[in-house]
Structure 1
């Protein structure tokens, strides 16, 4: 019998929806939903690369992450109004970019840039992992539209895991995330390799067996997400 508020098993993802072509203008766009967390990912392509990359023959993939003011239960001002980008926003933007670059062949992309904008419409935990998972699908569509589908060397997805009341759990909503004794975000390629592991103990340290249990959960979750990405792309 489940002890989670939403009735899920400890190793079960929230309901996941990946809706492609959500916007008209970008080369690729996806609305990704992890339960009540909703993130809009848009991939825009442009000729040229940053100055430091010119003449290399290599392309560039980068990302920006942001949250709508009303994405959480308490409205927050836009960072553009504040006049500076917050540390969390900058960190997540870089994480998304690194994750996507792990599955891109820069040479095949040529000297073109793909910019992924990830905007959180509603936040209920796992916004960065949802953004990475949706951004990959938007990137795949953008590469196809650019005529360089071979630029993708694989797929990438991400999921959160954590220990709540001593129990390892997969894909944490906000109510679990704020109570987690250990919280971890795991990014993996479709063939089961780790791109990034971000883990933090909140008050009580975790041991190797707990780490192994969390990584096993993350592997299962990312494998399920990889399958859902492939289904969304019709593969």
Structure 2
């Protein structure tokens, strides 16, 4: 038995609220136990230089925690001038995970940026970010399909 009285084989309650942010092409608020992560997916037609002329798209991710997402306040990473090594590695993990499930050629010459902002951290922020980021990504792809920019969802 854990301190929280949750059994060793018992999963935390999971809730996903898609479409949480009204401005992003795709978004989701994911709650796993007491962890809360807001994930948004934004579509951009500006390709990174290494993809110019390659006739395929890209999916990338950014990850960060609000200063008071934990029990004690942390300094905002932007105030430090650069993300921590932990945040960089997590955003790489999210980006690679999402690129692995998207047909980048079918995506066309566009980029989808998935932002994962931890509102409250109580364990499992990486997995919450990948899962919530995937939901936001699919909603952004569906938005592109509804706009006539994609004939099908490339996932």
TM-score (norm 2): 0.93
The 1-side partners of 2:5 and 2:82 are apart by 40
The 1-side partners of 2:3 and 2:10 are apart by 13
Matched residue, 1:150 = 153
The 2-side partners of 1:108 and 1:48 are apart by 16
Q: Which runs of 4+ in 1 moved over 4 A?
A: none
Matched residue, 1:136 = 134
- Please say if 1:56 is aligned against 2:59: no
- Please say if 1:22 is aligned against 2:20: yes
The 2-side partners of 1:82 and 1:100 are apart by 28
Q: Where do residues 65-76 of structure 1 align in structure 2 (5 Å cutoff)?
A: 65-76=63-74
Contact kept in structure 2, 1:59 and 1:111, CA below 8 Å? yes
The 1-side partners of 2:82 and 2:5 are apart by 40
- Bigger relative contact order, structure 1 or 2 (CA pairs below 8 A, ≥6 apart): 2
How far does residue 11 in structure 1 lie from its aligned partner after superposition?
1.9
> Which residue, 32, 35, 38 being the options, matches 2:33?
35
The 2-side partners of 1:86 and 1:8 are apart by 31
How far does residue 6 in structure 1 lie from its aligned partner after superposition?
2.8
| RMSD, matched Cα | 1.0
TM-score (norm 1): 0.62
The 2-side partners of 1:70 and 1:150 are apart by 37
- Matched residue of 1:151: which SS? coil
Matched residue, 2:125 = 127
Matched residue, 2:81 = 83
* Structure 1 unaligned residues grouped into runs of 5+: 153-235
Contact kept in structure 2, 1:99 and 1:132, CA below 8 Å? yes
The 2-side partners of 1:39 and 1:57 are apart by 33
CA deviation digits over 1:92-133, x for unaligned, max 9?
Answer: 000000000110000110001000000000000110110001
* Structure in which a larger fraction of residues adopt strand: 1
- Please say if 1:102 is aligned against 2:100: yes
The 2-side partners of 1:146 and 1:11 are apart by 39
Matched residue, 1:113 = 111
CA deviation digits over 1:2-22, x for unaligned, max 9?
Answer: x12333332221010100111
Matched residue, 1:7 = 5
Which structure: larger Rg? 1
* Corresponding pairs, count: 150
